A and B are shown apart, each in its own frame.
Chain A
């Protein structure tokens, strides 16, 4: 169903994303903390989102593996 290392890595990344960006893990960031002048929760959401994209880029653009 999901052949190829690239597909499987991206599948794993997606699963990780569902976990990180949902309750209950998301609520861990919901604190009254200010970092570089920015509230923690929006910052954490955007940073986590960027991290997912960066990892996806790394996996998707890696040369070699056909799928």
Chain B
């Protein structure tokens, strides 16, 4: 047992923390640094789906009927898989039309009907009362459990002024007012509230999992131990199965519950609020598609273990399983954990109440009270902001008190889950009008009205009435025998239907009649012009808008309007500042010179109406705009004509912008190509300069010595013959070197310019190697070096130019010959073949090449070794060889460690996929 002070103080401290977070969120939103512009926060805020029902009720359900708590979470998982299609469409529609509640959504789609909005609001309010009651009941019983002595007799219902649930309801009403109605936001977005809800979702998950882990590993020896002990007792073992419960597995009910939950997760007012109205970026839906189901999975992981653990610990039927999550830690001496669990449950309940009641109060204010007041003459009032806030605050208190009333009347006798399911079944009635309205253009206002009212009446008769009847003192015979004994009207056996459980029975009748009427009545009538125009805007929203645009698409309005009238209207409902800001914004976007120059055309009328709709709902906005402008009624033909024009304009615009984009892209491409070409030219130019200077340098050396020798001979006619002969020999050698150099330069130039001539023939590389060694034999003999050949018996033939390859081989061999040490030289030439390549390596035992030099040897005029002992050569042999090898699609390399010789090698592909164009026969 915990002291009342501690429990109350902790609860208030926690609520104050939430309030602080909300305050921060609102401040950051005003500063433009949104706290909630994040897919994870969006996902967590959806966790408001898990209420006290999940936190306390699921365990009770698991303790009595095993796995039957799961469909309530499996359904939403499967619904979320469709979020990318369905939810994103709802978000897009709501953003374009500034829709702020589900009532507004349905009414706006079906011709902005005020009556329809009222009906949806009524269903939502009555439908969620049991759900609010459920939260109050859960928190009140949790509070009682924590603060009462264990084993205290279940107290008689207290008089209302001593009932903690009433005070809980009032405190929560205060908090809801503080969260949701501090100021009027034209778009009904509450960033601070969303931040607080996301935090609450995290807190309840962590607390619940903590209790689950404590039960599984603290009280028992892990889940396996827990399940093993449960398996020993048949009445517990059956909870892990679906088969043994009564007469086999009732697949129909299982499916019905999944479907019900799948619809609820989308159409519950609070889910609509966090998923659609509070969405800041529709791309966040992608993360939520899987992350929200994951949240549901995590929060359900320990439900069965806690239920089994509680039943094993306390025994069956001793403690109320709804509060196992509190009583288990309390009974085993962990009051702190129990307090944390209570805070988690409080989180679950307050989160639900705050969001649900704010969403419903917006609906009641905009779609129920405001239209009535506007009709009754509130039109004269000047500033409505204060009035609207006052209405909402009153509505919030009223809803919570009504919830408390339901709790007092019917809550104490029912399980949490059965109360919750009543609410689910009520909001499921929105499904035909919502889904039909979003994907089918034929739905009409009458049909939606007929379907919704019939569905609601059937829900009230088959589900709500039986749950209330015993509590309000209605004779039991009404439910059991039917009103006035008319058996086919029995609420739980309509038309004498049997074999279905209560919920499936109610769901079957209400949803099927609702759906049939929605489609049937639509098909029997003809949609009006306004219904058709709204249907077009809703169903084809993805075709007409993109993620960023605010107002594209056709405007279905015709008439005459004055700027001043519309301006005055905007000021009245949005406040002077917001109205001014909007109109300046519109002037900027429409290209008008200033706010006074705006043409009050159809688009401007639509702009004002859409923004009014954000503040007071689409039906009221329609009414107000209609009251200040002269408008002509549109016929169906006009709608079609406007649509045609709009799609033609849009197509032209698209084609135009597409062409522009294409132009810009090709311009960009051309610029990039030009600058690349320019770079290439510049670098070629630089190379050419370097090449010229190297060539002239190389030419000068032999020329200088030829000239010196010739001058010597010319100056001294008396030079003896032997000397003269020696000089002439030198001149001839230098001239030969000069010729070789010029030839190689020419060769290189041809290779580089692509003008070289290539012969293609079948080449046996083995024969070429032998021939090259033969050719260079004399060179090696002079240096006293040994050449060793390592050749396979045969290699596959190669398509190449044999003369060029011989040139490469001779070059590598003569290179090696130059560098091997005199009289101790040893050169290995190896030919190898693998599946794709033929390769040749030539390794010598010369001084090798330093690492820094290795990269340079293939560059022109960069001979290996230092200049002093550089042997004869032009410095073009290796670059030319590499060019040749690369021409045949191969590569050439050098491996060398200084002091251990150098190894040159090249590889040629056996098959060339893309024959080079220079390859001519």
**In the bound complex, what is the Cα–Cα distance between A21 and B304 (angstroms)?**
18
A61 touches B286 (CB 8 A): yes
In the complex, whether B196 has a CB less than 8 A from a CB of chain A is no
A53 touches B294 (CB 8 A): yes
A45 touches B67 (CB 8 A): yes
- Taking CB atoms, residues of chain A closer than 8 Å to B237 are 39
258-295 of chain B: CB within 8 A of chain A:
258, 286-287, 289-291, 293-294
B231 touches A34 (CB 8 A): yes
B223 touches A37 (CB 8 A): yes
B249 touches A30 (CB 8 A): yes
- Taking CB atoms, residues of chain A closer than 8 Å to B249 are 23, 26-27, 30
The contact of A45 among B70, B78, B290, by CB within 8 Å, is B70
In the complex, whether B682 has a CB less than 8 A from a CB of chain A is no
Query: Interface stretch among B240-248, B374-382, B639-647?
Result: B240-248
Question: Residues 30-48 of chain A: 1 if any B CB is under 8 Å from the residue's CB, otherwise 0?
Answer: 1010101111011001100
A42 touches B81 (CB 8 A): no
The contact of A53 among B70, B240, B258, B293, by CB within 8 Å, is B293
The contact of B241 among A2, A10, A18, A41, by CB within 8 Å, is A41
The contact of A22 among B241, B255, B301, by CB within 8 Å, is B255
**In the bound complex, what is the Cα–Cα distance between A17 and B81 (angstroms)?**
9
Is the interface on chain B under 10, 10 to 19, 20 to 34, or 35 or more residues? Answer: 35 or more
B286 touches A52 (CB 8 A): no
In the complex, whether B214 has a CB less than 8 A from a CB of chain A is no
Question: Residues 298-332 of chain B: 1 if any A CB is under 8 Å from the residue's CB, otherwise 0?
Answer: 00010010000000000000000000000000000
- Taking CB atoms, residues of chain B closer than 8 Å to A56 are 80-81, 289-290, 293
Of chain B, the residue at the smallest CB distance from A14 is: B81
Q: How far is the CB of B68 from chain A (nearest CB, A)?
A: 12
In the complex, whether B225 has a CB less than 8 A from a CB of chain A is yes
**In the bound complex, what is the Cα–Cα distance between A24 and B242 (angstroms)?**
12
In the complex, whether B670 has a CB less than 8 A from a CB of chain A is no
The contact of A17 among B67, B78, B439, by CB within 8 Å, is B78
**In the bound complex, what is the Cα–Cα distance between A22 and B242 (angstroms)?**
12
**In the bound complex, what is the Cα–Cα distance between A27 and B656 (angstroms)?**
59
Given A34-B231, A53-B290, is A24 in contact with B251 using a C-beta cutoff of 8 Å? yes
Of chain A, the residue at the smallest CB distance from B222 is: A37
A13 touches B228 (CB 8 A): no
The contact of A49 among B77, B223, B243, by CB within 8 Å, is B77
In the complex, whether B40 has a CB less than 8 A from a CB of chain A is no
- Taking CB atoms, residues of chain A closer than 8 Å to B83 are 10
A41 touches B242 (CB 8 A): yes
Q: Chain B interface (Cβ within 8 Å of chain A)?
A: 67, 70, 74, 77-85, 88, 222-225, 227-228, 231, 237, 240-243, 249, 251-252, 254-255, 258, 286-287, 289-291, 293-294, 297, 301, 304, 439, 542
18 pairs, CB–CB < 8 Å, chain A vs chain B: A10-B81, A11-B85, A22-B254, A22-B258, A23-B249, A30-B241, A37-B227, A38-B223, A39-B227, A41-B242, A42-B67, A49-B293, A49-B297, A52-B77, A52-B78, A52-B81, A52-B293, A61-B287
Having A21-B258, A46-B301, A60-B289, one finds 7 other A-B pairs with CB under 8 Å, namely A11-B81, A22-B254, A23-B255, A26-B254, A37-B225, A50-B297, A57-B291
Q: Chain A interface (Cβ within 8 Å of chain B)?
A: 1-3, 6-7, 10-11, 13-14, 17-18, 21-24, 26-27, 30, 32, 34, 36-39, 41-42, 45-46, 49-50, 52-54, 56-57, 60-61, 67
